[in-house]
Amino acid sequence: MNFKVNAIIPAGGTSSRFGKSNKLLEKIGEKEVIKYTVEAFEKSNIDEIIICANVAIIDDLKKILNDCKKVRIIEGGASRQESVFNGIKACECDYVLIHDAARPMITTDLINTAIDEVVFKNALTVATKTIDTIKEVVDGKIVKTIDRSKLYNTQTPQAFRYDLIREAHEKLSGQSFTDDAGMLEALGQTVYILNGSYKNIKITTQNDIDIAKIYLAESN
């Protein structure tokens, strides 16, 4: 490739919904959640992986990821958005993929597809079509059934031309967004969908670890 692509993996959360331990350090089989995530990027066409970590787990991450040659660990921020911006400022690249550290079932194939696609589309997010029936509710009462044919559940990675996502974070600093694609949307940029996998779950509770173990067993 005649361009450089970095991955930013925000890992600054406290795992408050998971329990006493940090979910990124929890093991699925033989390896930690964060190890699965990073290994998928290590095997991909990514040039450098920047992990924006909670200070409390930086030493743990260095030990777990000591054999990962593309990894650079920096300090995260007070929020996911701040952590990502820290990562953006640490990048020297043409394109960037942003991926939740707690999505260990991501595949190298999907990462490489996102890299291939973002070169032509400038901004995209992995997503899956919504399969549940969605209701709009006011005061405990259903007021509308939403047409799910147009709905997608957003996942990560999300991929961007570097200058576009940096500009979005600089202009919208201080405002709160749930994902980086939403920041580009707010600035009128077109963001495309890349079909993902329903197995690309985000680890939030202990139950998600159990589900990930099932998916891992299926893939072996």
Q: Is the pLDDT of residue 166 over 70?
A: yes
Nearest Cα residue to 56 out of 114, 2, 15: 15
Predicted confidence band of residue 220 (pLDDT cuts 50, 70, 90) = low
Return the amino acid letter for 111.
Answer: I
What the block records as the tokens of 13 is 């959360």
Q: For residue 92, which phi and psi values (nearest 5 degrees)? A: -135, 90
Predicted confidence band of residue 17 (pLDDT cuts 50, 70, 90) = low
What the block records as the tokens of 186 is 């707010």
pLDDT tens for each residue of 100-158: 999 999 999 999 999 999 999 999 999 999 999 999 999 999 999 999 999 999 999 99
53/55 Cα distance (integer angstroms): 6
Q: Is the pLDDT of residue 199 over 70?
A: yes
What the block records as the tokens of 110 is 């999907």
CB-based contacts of 208, cutoff 8 Å, min separation 6: 201, 202
Mean pLDDT computed over every residue of the chain: 94
Nearest Cα residue to 10 out of 210, 178, 189, 137: 178
Name the pairing type of β-strands 95-98 and 31-32. Answer: unpaired
Whether 204 contacts 102, CB under 8 Å: yes
What the block records as the tokens of 34 is 């964060």
pLDDT tens for each residue of 43-70: 999 999 999 999 999 999 999 999 999 9
Q: How many domains does the chain have?
A: 1
What the block records as the tokens of 191 is 């963001």
Predicted confidence band of residue 216 (pLDDT cuts 50, 70, 90) = confident
Share of the chain above pLDDT 90, in %: 88
Q: What domain range is 12 assigned to?
A: 5-219
pTM assigned to the model: 0.94
23/33 Cα distance (integer angstroms): 7
User: What CATH number is associated with residue 215?
Assistant: 3.90.550.10
